[in-house]
Amino acid sequence: MSTTSFSVDLRDLHFVLFDQLAAHEQLAAIPRFADLDREVYEATLAEGERLAREVLSPINAPGDLEGCSFDGQGNVKTPRGYREAWEVLREGGWLAPSAPSELGGGGLPFTIHMCLSEMLCGACMAFMMYAGLTVGAARVILGHGPADTREMIARKMFTGEWGGTMCLTEAGAGSSVGDNRCRATPTDEPGVYLLEGEKIFISGGDQDLTDNIVHLVLARTPNAGKGTKGLSLFMVPKYEFDVGGALGARNGAKVLRIEEKMGIHGSSTCVLGLGGDLPCRGVLLGQENQGIELMFLMMNEARIGVAVQGHAMAAAAYNYARGYAQERIQGQSIREARSQDAPSVAIVQHPDVRRMLMTQKVYAEAMRSLLLRMALVVDREHASEDPAERERLRGRIDLLTPILKATCTDLGFEVAVGAVQVYGGYGYIGEYPVEQLVRDVKICSIYEGTNGIQAMDLVGRKLRIGGGALFIDWMQEAQGRLAAAGEAGLGGPAEAIGKAVQLLAASAMHLAGLGKARKVEAAMMQAVPFTRMFGLVLLGVECIEQALVAARLRQTRGDEPHLIGKQRNLEFFVAALLPQAIALGKSIQSNDESALDPALFV
């Protein structure tokens, strides 16, 4: 393995999908996936791996160096190689693998979509930004767009002929979406409004990959109320079009400039002007004042997608670091350090390097398991015909989405930083791949709602639904899985992780008590630590289940290194990583409010 070559761990993907989760069997019970089997999924993953390695990875570093360019007239050019890569993925149907096949999508389960996202985002995250936002916007339009054009528009977006964006943020408002000032004035044409304003941080605000771009824009209609409840959602195309999709005149939504960013330079993050030099026509989606509700349909999908991005970058960083550590010869073995004649060894033999690699390995593999388990819940929720079961699964998705988004993106950054440390001085040099990963992945903890906002959503809303019903449902399932692991011979780790689950529950009760005492600031100050604690506990439950599956498989497959690795993952997690969760629980319940002292930060 070259120190700069991208790789995908197909072996571990197969382990999680087929050995641990039996995803092929669960998905076969869903009628629309009944004709798909393990052989189909394995072939799909193999081709996805090839595309990631041969098509996207080669444009990643060059695209980072070149970035996007702006002509001053509202037009953006993507880096060299992007258009060719887009056509390859477009022609193969890889841009929207889980979208309906009758509308140009791949018709695959969301679970397989997430596997492909890990590969493709890990190979070139900036490029895949265009596809992810397009598919998310298309789903909203398909559900709530004009009846006579919604399927046509969705088809063009799912097939990559048109692009899509999400336009929320405005200067000064930032994450406080309710402060948005963009105006929408109704016209004499039913459902059509003229928009005026400016949006910032618009990913894919313009590009040269597609013939048209459909922006989803939040704006405020006349006499609308304040805050998020007064926002409406509008479909604003770059070019006007007729019911058949033929393009017409340029609309008044134009890029004013490209934002200069820390990373993902190949993704055009733009300032978008509405109604400046030309009238900007937008079509209302849904009803007036329904904007934030509809936008959240896209945002929730996007938050899971960003969690996958965080994991994808962690997996790529670990694979790079492992390959480098196996090749890089430096220093003598610790056991022979006093011998002047001792040969130099690969740095993978040094204990501290092994500690760093093990941390990266455990996080990357446990996140993969957690995310694919979540994906199966999404597939089952979409397919369920039992209202009660569908509501239960939807509750699980609602509860875990902010945790996965925050945990996987924070850990994605930490793993990438750890990979730089494994490379040492070379990790800080641009000709090696890991410094770019650090810059690219950092945005994941910020956009689609900062991780602080995710934590506030978890503590302030999700934990309170049904008097804690969502949390209780999860906890009962987790305790059941731990009990099964204990009965199968993993009593020690099951007990250790079980204590963390109980401490998590006590921490949740403590935060609820602060809320009842109207000490809301004190509760919200602990929202991020609580979310991190929850995420660590989730990863621990995945580690113990993977170790259990590996132990069973070793009885027939023997001592495969990969299976041994799963058991070592659990040992390392309990000894080295789980104590973080315990410490966080104690901190959350410490009643420390020193940071709230008004005398500070003046």
The catalytic residues are: 448
Helix axes 150-158, 125-144, angle to 10 degrees: 170
Spatial separation of the C-alpha atoms in residues 416 and 281, rounded to whole Å: 43
Beta bridge partners of 194: 185, 281
DSSP letter, residue 54: I
Q: Which two tokens stand for residue 33?
A: 């996936």
Spatial separation of the C-alpha atoms in residues 407 and 199, rounded to whole Å: 28
Q: Give the residue carrying structure tokens 């090749």.
A: 327
Handedness of CA 134, 136, 137, 143 (dihedral sign): positive
DSSP H helices in 71-228: 82-92, 110-123, 125-144, 150-158
Report residue 346 CA to chain centroid gap. Answer: 34
Beta bridge partners of 232: 219
Spatial separation of the C-alpha atoms in residues 138 and 162, rounded to whole Å: 10
DSSP H helices in 328-350: none
Report residue 602 CA to chain centroid gap. Answer: 36
Helix axes 110-123, 125-144, angle to 10 degrees: 150
Angle ∠(587,592,594) on CA atoms, nearest 5: 130
Q: Give the residue carrying structure tokens 């995710």.
A: 454
Q: Do residues 308 and 98 lie in contact, with contact meaning Cβ atoms separated by under 8 Å?
A: no
Integer angstrom CA distances of residue 564 from 490, 538, 548, 571, 572 = 15, 21, 11, 11, 12
DSSP letter, residue 210: S
The residue among 233, 257, 220, 75 whose CA lies nearest residue 167 is 233
Q: Give the residue carrying structure tokens 């088809």.
A: 155
Spatial separation of the C-alpha atoms in residues 536 and 225, rounded to whole Å: 40
Q: Give the residue carrying structure tokens 């289940």.
A: 545
Spatial separation of the C-alpha atoms in residues 101 and 107, rounded to whole Å: 4
Q: Give the residue carrying structure tokens 């059941």.
A: 480
Dmax over CA atoms of the chain, in Å, equals 88
DSSP letter, residue 79: P
Angle ∠(459,465,467) on CA atoms, nearest 5: 100
Q: Give the residue carrying structure tokens 């209302």.
A: 284
Contacts of 496 (CB under 8 A, 6+ apart): 574, 578
Instruction: Give the 3-state secondary structure of residue 56.
Output: helix
Q: Do residues 44 and 92 lie in contact, with contact meaning Cβ atoms separated by under 8 Å?
A: no
Q: What is the 3-state secondary structure (H, E, C) of 542-581?
A: HHHHHHHHHHHHHHHHCCCHHHHHHHHHHHHHHHHHHHHH
Spatial separation of the C-alpha atoms in residues 579 and 536, rounded to whole Å: 10
